[in-house]
């Protein structure tokens, strides 16, 4: 009997150890947020080192040209706010969760037409993670939210379930950071970094040539 008990406990422990990573893998989400101040690959590497050290972060790619960081993470272990706080406190760069990576939805609630009504909206979303800000009145409200956690449909359905009121989504904006176009500033960053790399390579070649008496670039053959 004792051997059976030990075997069952061992099986349960092995199952838990092998099932946990799979369960965690299914909860992986992705977020892209701006990080200001990165000007070179070393800056990006510094941001990646800090964020990758947080529990729950699966991967991070910091792009110094676009000025953003894209993180795959487990939301049950780490939040975007913790990533931003880590970057801002442990590096020279500034990350933020506003504007570029926030989504907005304009909701219309007929039952609140002609009334301030914001209290109903705020109460409905008080315990909903991912809602950042609510504004508006008289039946028309703008909700700012984190697109990696919620969709406009989630907002509307949640409001109906919590208040029993009908709601219509008038408009919604969900940013797509992956389609961000390169600006003139981005192109200048590329050009400056490329020029710096070429200068380093040229300087290294000149140094090596002077020490090892290598033929100079563009020089002709010596007389035999």
Fold matches, 28-99 and 102-175? yes
Contact status, residue 185 vs residue 67, Cβ threshold 8 Å: no
Ranking 71-85, 89-103, 158-172 by mean pLDDT, the lowest is 89-103
Q: What is the mean pLDDT of the chain?
A: 77
**How would residue 118 be classed by pLDDT, with cut points 50, 70 and 90?**
confident
Contact status, residue 110 vs residue 139, Cβ threshold 8 Å: yes
* CATH code of the region 28-99: 3.30.70.100
Taking CA atoms, 156 is separated from 118, 126, 179, in Å, by: 15, 14, 27
Could you state, in order of their start, the residue ranges of all structural domains in the chain? 28-99, 102-175
pLDDT tens, 53-71? Answer: 999 999 999 998 888 899 9
* CATH code of the region 102-175: 3.30.70.100
Give yes or no for residue 43 having a pLDDT over 80.
yes
User: pTM score > 0.75 for this model?
Assistant: no
Give yes or no for residue 86 having a pLDDT over 90.
yes
Residue % of the chain over a pLDDT of 70: 74
**Residue 76, class by beta-carbon neighbours within 10 Å (0-12 exposed, 13-18 middle, 19+ buried)?**
exposed
């Amino acid at each position: 009997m004792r051997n059976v008990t030990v075997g069952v406990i061992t099986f349960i422990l092995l199952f838990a150890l092998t099932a946990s990573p799979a369960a965690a893998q299914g909860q992986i989400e992705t977020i892209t947020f701006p990080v200001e101040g990165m000007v070179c690959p070393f800056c990006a590497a510094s941001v990646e080192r800090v964020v990758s050290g947080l529990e729950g972060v699966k991967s991070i790619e910091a792009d110094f040209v676009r000025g953003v960081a894209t993180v795959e993470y487990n939301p049950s272990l780490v939040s975007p706010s913790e990533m931003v706080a880590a970057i801002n406190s442990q590096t020279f760069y500034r990350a933020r969760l506003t504007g570029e990576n926030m989504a907005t939805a304009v909701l219309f609630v007929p039952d609140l037409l002609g009334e301030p009504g914001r209290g109903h909206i705020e109460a409905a979303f008080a315990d909903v993670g991912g809602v950042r800000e609510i504004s508006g009145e008289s039946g028309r409200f703008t909700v700012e939210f984190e697109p990696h956690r919620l969709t406009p449909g989630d907002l509307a359905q949640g409001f109906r379930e919590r208040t029993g009121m009908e709601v219509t989504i008038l408009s919604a904006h969900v940013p797509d950071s992956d389609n961000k176009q390169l600006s003139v500033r981005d192109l200048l960053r590329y050009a400056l970094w490329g020029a710096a790399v070429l200068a380093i390579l040229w300087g290294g070649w000149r140094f090596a040539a002077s020490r090892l008496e290598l033929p100079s670039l563009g020089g002709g053959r010596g007389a035999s």
